[in-house]
Amino acid sequence: MLKEKLLNLLFPPKCVLCSRVLSDEQTDLCHSCRQDTDEFTKSKKKFSFVAGWTSLWYYTGNVRHSMLLYKFYRRRSYGPIYGRLLAMKLHAKPLCSYDVLTWVPVSRFRLMQRGYDQVELIAHSLGQELGTPAIPVLTKQRHTKPQSRLNTPERRRANILGAFRVNDITSIQGKTVLLIDDIITTGSTISECARVLLTAGAKAVYCAAVAVPHDKKEKRR
Ligand SMILES: [Zn+2]
């Protein structure tokens, strides 16, 4: 307890979205981020091979800023917080019942470059909260260009096709898989993961992400 207090004095817990120091009664998010952040509600997007999906937030404003820090500026501690918040959302609004919890892995190149698999950290924390440990079902067997830099669906599909393989087919055969991702940019990555999982014998694949961009039409409003 004393150690915890000392650590809090040295490294006061901060809001994961705006970095404001949190008061004693706040956890993970400050009051204004909890009130004002663009929480995901619905989308018309459908992704091939994915039975259903959800997200915690929309990828805008503070969420976008926070996730860029997490991915590119080594804010490793954000991962478990995103996972915990996504778990709360899934607990409040269950997406599906599932047998296996896993995540969209990064390539070995990206892992070495970043030092951590950002989606794995989210999935492990989420699994702990929901009582189902996340297991490594997929391996990304080659490095690919970021999907967001490719401008047509065909290019994105070609970029990611065959990039993932299932580690152990028996772990998912006949099972419903909940796949965790950080950001669903265009959906081509989760579609490819779901295709590979279904080909290997999974019964159904659902996906939950931390953030997703607004549907284009909503954005213009
Ligand atoms: Zn905040």
Which tens digit of pLDDT belongs to each residue from 50-99? 999 999 999 999 999 999 999 999 899 999 999 999 999 999 999 999 99
Share of the chain above pLDDT 90, in %: 75
Residue 3 placed within a domain:
no
Per residue in 102-114, pLDDT (tens digit) is 999 999 998 998 8
**Averaged pLDDT, 6-27:** 85
Spatial separation of the C-alpha atoms in residues 215 and 175, rounded to whole Å: 30
Considering the domain architecture, whether residues 65 and 117 belong to the same structural domain is answered as: yes
Residue spans of beta strands (DSSP E) within the chain: 52-58, 100-103, 138-140, 164-166, 176-183, 204-212
Please give the distance, rounded to the nearest whole angstrom, from the Cα atom of residue 154 to the centre of ligand 1. Answer: 38
Please give the distance, rounded to the nearest whole angstrom, from the Cα atom of residue 32 to the centre of ligand 1. Answer: 6
Please give the distance, rounded to the nearest whole angstrom, from the Cα atom of residue 16 to the centre of ligand 1. Answer: 7
Share of the chain above pLDDT 70, in %: 97
Considering the domain architecture, whether residues 108 and 49 belong to the same structural domain is answered as: yes
* Distances from the Cα of 146 to the Cα of 69, 114, 160, 188, angstroms: 17, 14, 9, 11
Q: Using DSSP, how many helices (H) and how many strands (E) does the chain show?
A: 9, 6
Please give the distance, rounded to the nearest whole angstrom, from the Cα atom of residue 18 to the centre of ligand 1. Answer: 4
- Structural domains counted in the chain: 2
Considering the domain architecture, whether residues 19 and 56 belong to the same structural domain is answered as: no
Please give the distance, rounded to the nearest whole angstrom, from the Cα atom of residue 31 to the centre of ligand 1. Answer: 7
Neighbours of ion ligand 1 (CB under 5 A): 15, 17-18, 20, 30, 33
pTM, 2 dp: 0.91
Residue 171 placed within a domain:
yes
The per-residue pLDDT for 11 is: 78
Which residue do the tokens 């159904």 mark? 204
Q: Confidence class of residue 124 from pLDDT cuts 50, 70 and 90?
A: very high
Residue 142 placed within a domain:
yes
136 pLDDT more than 60: yes
Please give the distance, rounded to the nearest whole angstrom, from the Cα atom of residue 20 to the centre of ligand 1. Answer: 6
Please give the distance, rounded to the nearest whole angstrom, from the Cα atom of residue 21 to the centre of ligand 1. Answer: 8
Spatial separation of the C-alpha atoms in residues 106 and 168, rounded to whole Å: 18
pLDDT, mean over the chain: 92
Please give the distance, rounded to the nearest whole angstrom, from the Cα atom of residue 19 to the centre of ligand 1. Answer: 6
221 pLDDT more than 60: no
Which residue do the tokens 């019942």 mark? 97
Question: 52 is in which domain, residue-wise?
Answer: 38-220
